[in-house]
Amino acid sequence: MPRRTATMLASTLILIALLCAGVLINVPYSEMSPGPTVNTLGKVDGEPVLQITGHKTYKTSGNLNMTTVRVTGADYKMNLVEAVYGWLGHDAVVVPHDTLYPNGKTEEQSTQENAEEFSQSQESAKVAALTELGIAVPSRVVVSTVLKDSPSQGKLHAGDVIKAVDGTAVKQPEDVSKLVTRHKPGQDVTFTVIPAKTAAAAEKAHKEPQGNEKVTVTTKKAAKENRAIVGIQAGTDHTFPFDIEIKLADVGGPSAGLMFSLGIIDKLTPDKLTGGKFIAGTGTIDDKGKVGPIGGINMKLVGARNAGARYFLTPDENCKAAASDTPDGLTLVRVKGIGDAKKSLEKIRAGDTAGLPSCSAG
């Protein structure tokens, strides 16, 4: 066999062997890629994403698209070839598996956590939107979770409204733990509550719940600290003056909060926020309308531009990363709060894009 032919054959066999090894060798990485975008002003499967009843609504135009990131599952085994392809590509990002599933978290646990965050983001989006419009949204401190085998199990229940602890009124969730830890382990704490069923019925009727009951719980010592606990987690719930439902399945996490808020505002006001423009965005939102950072910003930019967006509302803390790799034809708009976002939408509507707050990679 001629030397040249032998060399080519050997090289080919080595290449085949390397490819086979690359396919068979698993690496501890996962992939993030652009997920679908959804117009919060539109419909999914024939149903409006935002459904408002009990209050006048107005026609909308254009797009206010929330964006998502698609990730590989916790049990997915990425091989070396896929990892290299992902590293070299532009529309996907390869990250360490533990970044998406820390501490051995299963896909089921991650899904549950994302569902809870998504639910909370919807609540905050509604509060922020109505507050921005000057519509009062009464809040109350509630039992969010009762820990298994805790002193409170069977006595307090998730959804119970906590009015007072030992006769002292509570206004914030943190007030509950402060009042409980005034006790020594083994001492009794008296909670003044409105039962969850009573509170739920009042919420359905858009009324403040009434009807206090007293519940006594004996504290115990915390597992790792010498302080009294009762085994509950307190949170905040709200009474909305009318019904706002967000109909969107198979989406998790808190990052759609900003876009939900803007969609609600658009439906409740006569002015069309977008002016018919295609605007996408992302960002968490709290009850006061502050916009927070999210993960996977560059994948969301790609997804938004592929869907047709021309402007992207970008959380302030994500601006630097977003500006470092912005798809052509997409204008980044920096936002810190829901008020910022509304003002920027007014500028886009008026064609005053030179005055938009921008992102920079510096």
Q: pLDDT tens digits for 254-307?
A: 899 999 999 999 999 998 899 999 999 999 999 999 999 998 899 999 999 999
DSSP state at residue 214:
E
Residue 346's pLDDT is 94
Q: How far apart are CA 266 and CA 342, in angstroms?
A: 10
Residue 18's pLDDT is 46
Q: How far apart are CA 129 and CA 117, in angstroms?
A: 18
* C-alpha of 189 from chain center: 35
Residue 22's pLDDT is 45
Decide: 191 and 215 in contact? Cβ < 8 Å: yes
Residues of the chain with pLDDT under 50: 1, 18, 21-23, 87
Long-range CB pairs of 324-331, under 8 A, 24+ apart, other chains included:
324/298, 324/361, 325/298, 325/301, 326/301, 326/359, 327/301, 327/302, 329/305, 330/301, 330/304, 330/305, 331/356, 331/358
pTM here is: 0.81
* C-alpha of 151 from chain center: 32
Residue 37's pLDDT is 95
Residue 96's pLDDT is 65
Residue 241's pLDDT is 92
DSSP state at residue 206:
T
